[in-house]
Structure 1
Amino acid sequence: MKYRPIFITATNTGIGKTYATCRLIETLSHKGLHVGVLKPIETGVKEFPIDGKLLLETAQKYNKKLKNFTCRDVAPVQFLLPASPYVSREGKKIDFKAINLAYEKMLHVSDIVLIEGAGGLMVPVDEKIYMYDFIKKFNAITLLVTHANLGCINDTLLNRKILDSLKVEYQWCINFKENKNSFQTTTLPYYKKIISLQDDIKILSDNLLKLKK
């Protein structure tokens, strides 16, 4: 059975998209699914794409069909400068054909493809395209990862407002990299009910799969 892809985004860079994607790879694989991965654009690449390499190595542990795949198959567009694709490309055109081909190749060996964005939803790719455009491009549902620091209510609501305006199906979760104690006091009273990336990954994956019907 083929599932719609899941696009993993976050309220900002460094929030935990790659960590969340790896957790999903493990959880969905344990459900018996062959999981594929794609990082359409990765910036800050020197010898190899750090995120793309980790995604591939994690997926290869479970999906043996990925044995001969390379980092370029996962991260087809790579730039040296660690900035938004718009800036990192240094005036060059984004190779969307390479992204499409990488996605099609991954589809052939996967039941579901996890697509990790770069930065957040409003990161500019070129003059016309933003990171959120990949959601519609791949007909994906979305996982929004947010942080647990003071200010996460504002960051989360802003990003959810964007997703609501796009009329896309999504789930959101909190990555508790920080101490939970302050969160309990400053933020939880507003949310009341949350999904933790650390504690509720099985619930989260089930919720995402339900959206795929």
Structure 2
Amino acid sequence: MKYRPIFISATNTDIGKTYTTIKLIEELGKRGLKVGVLKPIETGVEEYPLDGRLLLQAVQKTNPALKEFTCKDIVPIQYKLPASPYVSKAGEKIDYASIHAAFENIAQVSDIVVIEGAGGLMVPVDEKLYMYDLIKEFNAITLLVTHANLGCINDTLLNINLLESLDVKYTWCINFRENEEDFIKTTLPFYEYKFGKVLSVQKNICEILDSLVMNRD
């Protein structure tokens, strides 16, 4: 049984995409699925991709077929400068063939592939593409991760409007890295009015997953 990929994005950088991706990997593994993971592009790479290494360690615990895979296998494009891929690539052409080849290698030995984007949806990849273009490139369902700080309403609604304009299936959730008590006072009343129940990575990972990729290709 194969499932559509899940594409993890966020309202900005440093929101908790990698943390959320690992939580999803763990939950998928508990459900008996062979999980694969791909981070097509990682910037700010010195000796090795920091996010990629964490993702690889997590996924190897659930999928023995990935035991011999390396960080390069799941992060095919790596740049040193911690910036958008457009800037980090310094005029080079991005090798999209290597990204697709990496995905296919992972998908062949996995029931589902979780794809972690870089930064947010509007991060420029090259002269023509933005990070959101990779969602349709992989026919993925999207999980949007947002923060809980003051201002998250604006960030969340802007990103949701973009996803809806792209006509892709998505779910959104909050990563409570901090400010949960303030969030309950300043933000939760509007979210409950607008959306009803609000899901968080910390409390609702099972429900988040249920709303995502449990549809067959």
Which TM-score applies when normalising by structure 1? 0.98
Which of 191, 211, 214 pairs up with 1:207? 211
Determine the C-alpha separation between the residues in 2 that align with 1:125 and 1:2: 28
1:197 aligned partner: 201
Shift of 1:210: 3.8
**Cα-to-partner distance string for 1:96-136 (whole Å, 9 max, x where unaligned):** 01101000000111000000000000000000010000000
2:3 aligned partner: 3
1:33 aligns with 2:33: yes
Contact persistence 1:39–1:75 (CA under 8 A): yes
Q: Structure 2 matches for 1:125-164, cutoff 5 A?
A: 125-164=125-164
Determine the C-alpha separation between the residues in 2 that align with 1:115 and 1:80: 21
**Cα-to-partner distance string for 1:157-210 (whole Å, 9 max, x where unaligned):** 000000000000000000000131100110001011200110000111111134
1:121 aligns with 2:121: yes
Q: Which amino acid aligns with 2:100?
A: N
Contact persistence 1:79–1:88 (CA under 8 A): yes
- Structure 1: tracts of 5 or more residues without a match: none
Shift of 1:62: 1.2
Count of residue pairs the alignment pairs up: 213
Q: Which amino acid aligns with 2:117?
A: G
2:179 aligned partner: 179
Q: Which amino acid aligns with 1:99?
A: I
1:52 aligned partner: 52
Q: Which secondary structure does the structure 2 equivalent of 1:120 belong to?
A: coil
Determine the C-alpha separation between the residues in 1 that align with 2:179 and 2:81: 32
Which TM-score applies when normalising by structure 2? 0.97
Q: Percent identity?
A: 65
**Cα-to-partner distance string for 1:71-93 (whole Å, 9 max, x where unaligned):** 00000000000000000000000
Q: Which secondary structure does the structure 2 equivalent of 1:172 belong to?
A: strand
Q: Which amino acid aligns with 1:196?
A: S
Determine the C-alpha separation between the residues in 2 that align with 1:134 and 1:67: 26
2:75 aligned partner: 75
- Structure 2: tracts of 5 or more residues without a match: none
